[in-house]
């Protein structure tokens, strides 16, 4: 799953060298909680030359009142995308969701605790996450696609073993191609190939607690325990 992301500096979006075109101003955050339905920068197939702001939580066009729509559509599973009623009409509405990192829960073996872990590009910069969108009641809404986790990410998100679809280079470019077929799209919706390019570490507790305000610089800092992900996908303390 991917319900929590970071995008803490507007300059990082401006580094895309695409103008931000939106009726509302983008407000960066250290922690965006998807359940707040925030406005997030995306590059979409409909306007690939600009950065737009779409609202996180896909609402199908046939929904009359959002309060009547109870489904959790912050994420769309890759294995449900072409069959599930909420998503199947929108596979051609593709976008790249911009963020500097995302948070995932980890449950230590033999406990009921939940630790917060953060994943960002090892070299810095932005992730581009594959998404789909709708045009619902004069606004654009989106969902982040998730896939099975690779070995490293499965060690972190050890209960769900899912991760967001990370795209870069030719894969990101292909995602925004109008000519992309369903078969080609399925081939792109796979675990991230090179997990050595991910920096993964434990951060402060409480990221997934809606009653706790974790929109602060400290949320991106390594936890005092020093928990990190080792080569081979094992967790360690040092």
pLDDT, tens only, 95-147: 999 999 999 999 988 888 899 999 999 999 999 999 999 999 999 999 999 99
The mean pLDDT value for 142-164 works out to 94
What's the pLDDT band for 13 if we cut at 50, 70, 90? very high
Four-residue CA torsion sign, 200, 205, 209, 212: negative
pLDDT, tens only, 190-218: 999 888 899 999 999 999 998 999 999 99
Q: Which fold has domain 4-237?
A: hypothetical protein yedk fold (3.90.1680)
Strand 227-229 and strand 101-106: the pairing is unpaired
C-alpha separations of 136 from 48, 65, 140, 194 in Å? 20, 10, 6, 36
What are the sequence ranges of the domains in the chain? 4-237
Polymer length in residues for the chain: 238
pTM (whole model) above 0.85: yes
**DSSP-derived secondary structure for 87-118:** TGGGTT-EEEEEESEEEEEE--TT----EEEE
Residue 103: name the closest of 59, 54, 144 by CA: 144
């Amino acid at each position: 799953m991917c319900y929590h992301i970071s995008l803490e500096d507007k300059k990082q979006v401006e580094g895309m060298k695409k103008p931000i075109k939106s009726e509302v101003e983008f407000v960066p955050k250290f922690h965006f909680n998807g359940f707040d339905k925030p406005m997030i920068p995306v590059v979409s197939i409909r306007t690939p030359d600009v950065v737009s702001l779409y609202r996180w939580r896909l609402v199908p066009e046939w929904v009359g009142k959002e309060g009547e729509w109870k489904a959790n559509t912050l994420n769309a599973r890759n294995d449900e995308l072409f069959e599930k009623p909420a998503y199947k009409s929108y596979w051609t509405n593709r976008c790249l969701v911009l963020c500097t990192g995302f948070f995932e829960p980890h449950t230590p073996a033999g406990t009921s605790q939940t630790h917060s872990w953060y994943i960002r590009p090892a070299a810095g910069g932005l992730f581009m996450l594959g998404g789909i969108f709708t045009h619902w009641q004069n606004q654009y809404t989106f969902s982040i696609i998730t896939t099975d986790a690779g070995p490293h990410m499965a060690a972190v998100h050890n209960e769900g073993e899912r991760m967001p679809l990370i795209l870069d280079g030719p894969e990101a470019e292909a995602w925004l191609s109008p000519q992309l077929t369903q078969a080609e799209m399925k081939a792109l919706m796979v675990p991230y190939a090179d997990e050595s390019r991910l920096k993964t570490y434990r951060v402060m507790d409480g990221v997934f607690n809606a009653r706790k305000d974790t929109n602060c610089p400290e949320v991106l800092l390594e936890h005092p325990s020093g928990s990190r992900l080792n080569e081979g996908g094992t967790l360690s303390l040092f």
